[in-house]
Amino acid sequence: MNSKKTIPVSLNDPRVDTFPTPPFEQQKQPFPGLVSKMIPVPDHGETSYKGSSRLKGRKALVTGGDSGIGRAVAIAFAREGADVAINYLPDEEPDAQDVVNLLSKEGHKIVAIPGDIRDEKFCQRLVKDAAEQLGGLDLLVNNAGRQQFCNSIKDLTTEAFDATFKTNVYAMFWITKAALEYLPRGSAIINTSSVQAFLPSDNLLDYSQTKASIVAFTKGLAKQLAPEGIRVNSVAPGPYWTVLQTSGGQPQEKVEKFGEQAPLGRPGQPAEIAGMYVALASNENSYTSGQVWCSDGGTGTL
């Protein structure tokens, strides 16, 4: 008897089927980088994500929605029926326009608002513009992040440290605070943390600190906003194949082997984590708040 199991057509082996595995080509871009220049280009769900009206009528703001996990979330939210506004840096306009063109052609409402979230006044304007253009706001995804590796604290400048905290922590605080003026009861806030909050790498000292801050912010704010009927949760990705890694997030020798250490033997694709954000955003998880959901390819960080 042949003991080898036949995999049903509806299933994919998460280790080998269709997913790119290391080694990857050498590639380096200046921060913040562009998806179109990555080899291979990540899967954000452009053709793979199929919606089922789980977020019909919702209004969402997603920071960092031009690429990586934010792009995958924007695509998933739109295909689940939400109107979506994405924020991104002006240098990322080509990626943002790809998202806008894709979703607009499918009949979804997608709003693009470029700008640097390290500026408090811009963060306030971003929320106001998003709410006005969408006709309301009930979903907020604080996802935009800055990650630049540095091998020694001796070489980590105050300017770089400040830029990471401004992008990852201050902006989350400013945007969330501004959004509370618009978020009604039943709204959801989702913050992108990282496994780096729990297992920090030696060359991501500032980045890992910000991700730990996001976990604390999420848990504390969830308690604070519970009486207002607003849920707050976080997603903690492990090694995901995004432009963040190839534009200074990791040294080239680690990019080439990126995700190799995970039990599944590869990095995750952004499309593979978007469903977590959809679940946390939907009314199906109305009793879930103050949680950190991890996706790390089997390492079991949380």
Residues labelled catalytic: 207
Give me 79's structure tokens: 């295909």
CB 144 within 8 A of CB 117: yes
Strands 83-88 and 188-192, how do they pair? unpaired
Cβ-based neighbours of 180, under 8 Å, separated by 6 or more:
225, 230
DSSP code string of the chain: ---PPPPPTT---TTTSS---S--------TT--GGGSSSPP--STTT----STTTT-EEEEETTTSHHHHHHHHHHHHTT-EEEEEE-GGGHHHHHHHHHHHHHTT--EEEEE--TTSHHHHHHHHHHHHHHHT---EEEE--------S-TTT--HHHHHHHHIIIIIHHHHHHHHHTTTPPTT-EEEEE--GGGTS--TT-HHHHHHHHHHHHHHHHHHHHHGGGT-EEEEEEE-SB--HHIIIIIS-HHHHHTTTTTSTTSSPBPGGGTHHHHHHHHSGGGTT--S-EEEE-TT----
Give me 193's structure tokens: 């943390």
Measured in degrees and rounded to the nearest 5, phi and psi for residue 149 equal -70, 150
